[in-house]
Structure 1
Amino acid sequence: MARAPKKATLGYISDDSTRRSRYKKRLKGLMKKADEMATLCDVDTCVVVYGEDEAAPVVFPSPAAKAVGILKEFNGMPELGHCKKTMDQEGLLTQRIARLREQIDRSRRECHDSEIRYLLQKIMQGNLPGLVGLTMEQLVGVGYKVDELLKSMAERTGKTHPQPPPPAPCVTPALRLQAPAQQQD
């Protein structure tokens, strides 16, 4: 089994020769990563590094090639374009609060649904005869849940939810007897 490399502690390297050698290695790696990103993602990349003891900055790609054009394009963008995806502390907190509110609402709906299912189970077991003691909100919730369950059962069996027949017209026996008598006259 291979050994995991030791994690380097991030901090200022006080020894000059060690610092210069690590700077050169890291700079080479940074330029390689920028080149790989440009190739793999088909984007324009530019890296400008000001070294401690160097008179001119190290620029990738070469200063005359693309780097100057990329920097001019970046500086020419409106201020909003520079930081499209960045947000300040207030925006971050607002976004997080909205996400937490959605979670709270989802939890409340799930809790309400569980309560209604529990009531429905008690009703089906006969523990609440005549639905006595339920509030209007609980009755509406149970009715809605029953309709929902009937629809899902109908979908599973491949049938549509049956509609009740229309109510029969109210005909009293006295009216039925009078109608034929009037026809005979």
Structure 2
Amino acid sequence: MARKKVRMSYITNNSARKTTFKKRKKGMMKKLSELSTLCGVDACVVIYSPFDSQPEVWPSPSRVKNVLEKFKNMPMIEKSQKMLNQESFLRGMISKTNEQLKKVRKQNHEKELRHTMFQSLTTGIPQFQNLNLMDMGDLEQLINQKLDEINSIIENLSEEVIENETKMSKLNNNACEGIHGM
């Protein structure tokens, strides 16, 4: 059975929020333990919560200190390469989303042109009224690309036909020689 989608917003009910916190914290600790064990990485967690007076640390206070010391002793260049603040993370996400948007717009444009081309071919009526000069150029490229593909297919089929005719001719010659040799 599939889980229902969780709405990401602050849980106003205190007991539900506390229960969710405990469950999610337990799950996060388990995942971190698995990550640390399976991949052999040093990891730690420090959780401050309104439900506990003392912060919770994993795996132990001494191991947390070791991991933090290891991080503090890293050269600044190496530290800054691996660190990501909220602003740079959001800038990266916006950039990635913009690239995806460009790609989808390009795909939609190509589909619209392909639709216009096929609609013109099937109805016999040119459907170019709504196209600007740039779209007409793109349509020309698409038509030329399709013509090249068709010519390539025709060329391949012609080669296959010639090849098959040559084979049939050889078979006929061999059959005739077999009949005359009897």
Question: What is the TM-score when the length of structure 2 is the normalising length?
Answer: 0.51
The answer to whether the aligner puts 1:70 opposite 2:67 as a matched pair is yes
Judging by fraction of residues, say which structure has more helix: 2
- State the distance in 1 between where 2:120 and 2:48 align: 71
Structure 1 segments, 4+ long, off by >6 Å, are 21-26
Instruction: Measure how far apart 1:45 and its partner are.
Output: 1.8
Change in 2 beyond 3 A, CA 1:118/1:43: same
Deviation at 1:37, TM superposition (A): 2.5
CA separation in 2, counterparts of 1:42 and 1:158? Answer: 61
Higher-Rg structure is 1
RMSD: 4.5
Task: Read off the aligned partner of 1:108 and give its amino acid letter.
Answer: H
Gap regions ≥5 residues in structure 1:
129-134, 161-185
- In the alignment, the residues of structure 1 paired with residue 158 and residue 67 of structure 2 have an alpha-carbon distance, to the nearest angstrom, of 62
> What SS is found at the alignment partner of 1:78?
helix
State the distance in 1 between where 2:29 and 2:154 align.
Answer: 62
Equivalent position of 1:92 in the other structure:
93
Question: Quick one: which of 21, 25, 48 aligns to 2:46?
Answer: 48
Structure 1 residues 62, 140: closer, same or farther in 2, change over 3 A? closer
- Percent identity among equivalent residues? 24
Name the stretch that deviates more: 66-75 or 26-35. 26-35
Preserved CA contact (<8 Å) 1:120 1:142: no
Aligned residues: 138
1:67–1:12 distance in 2 versus 1, CA, 3 Å: farther
Residue 56 of structure 2 aligns with an amino acid whose one-letter code is V
Letter of the aligned partner of 1:101 in structure 2? K
Structure 1 Cα separation of the partners of residues 81 and 56 of structure 2 = 28
